[in-house]
Amino acid sequence: MDHVITMPDTAVALAVRRQGAGQTELSLVSILDGQIGDPVTWAGRIALDSQAAPFAAVADDIRAHLGDGVLAIHGRRGALPLIRAILPGWRPATLVDTRSLARLVRCQSGPDFTPLRIELGRGAAARARATARLLILACEATAMCSA
């Protein structure tokens, strides 16, 4: 592998789960020195005209948990647009898409990520934990592949 992806000292994994009738869960999991913390989850009803409205009351809390460092997401379609609607102007220092990272590692004869697939039927907290595990495993795999 040409590049080693170093695991950051701190990162946050973000996941969203949209359910029927506009119900949405947003979950964050902190990663500190390779250890995955407990998820923090918020829920709200999303209206078609405003994604941010149900989360406006907790936007400061969400912002505090996000920090400004490394943000890990799994695919860019769900979590990123929602967090940008809730926190306009907020940007992480580094954004890592674990879906793209896993594909890169897999293409380089890396480990099998199948057991860590992020299942669509699972809640946001489970998805955030799986995203955190994928980030850690992919960073470890790039280090092994380059050795």
Q: pLDDT, tens digit, for every residue of 11-64?
A: 999 998 888 777 889 999 999 998 999 999 998 876 655 555 678 888 899 999
Give the SS3 label for residue 7: coil
User: Please, are residues 92 and 69 in contact by the beta-carbon 8 Å criterion?
Assistant: yes
Quick one: tokens of 124?
């946001």
- 18 or 115, which is more confident? 18
63-79 pLDDT, tens per residue?
999 988 899 998 877 78
Pairing of β 23-32 and β 94-97: unpaired
Q: How many residues are listed for the chain in this entry?
A: 147
Q: Which domains, ranges and CATH numbers included, belong to the chain?
A: 10-146 (3.30.420)
SS3 144: helix
What is the average pLDDT value for the chain, to the nearest integer?
79
Q: Residue 127 phi/psi, 5° resolution?
A: -65, -40
CA distance 86 to 50: 9
More confident residue, 147 or 20: 20
- The one-character DSSP state at 48 is T
Q: Are strands 70-73 and 10-18 parallel, antiparallel or unpaired?
A: parallel
| Residue 44 identity | G
- Measured between its terminal Cα atoms, the distance across the chain in Å is 9
Other Cβ atoms less than 10 A from the Cβ of 76: the count is 12
User: What ranges make up the beta strands (E) of the chain?
Assistant: 10-18, 23-32, 35-36, 40-45, 70-73, 94-97
Other beta carbons less than 10 A from residue 11's beta carbon: 25
pLDDT score of 109: 54
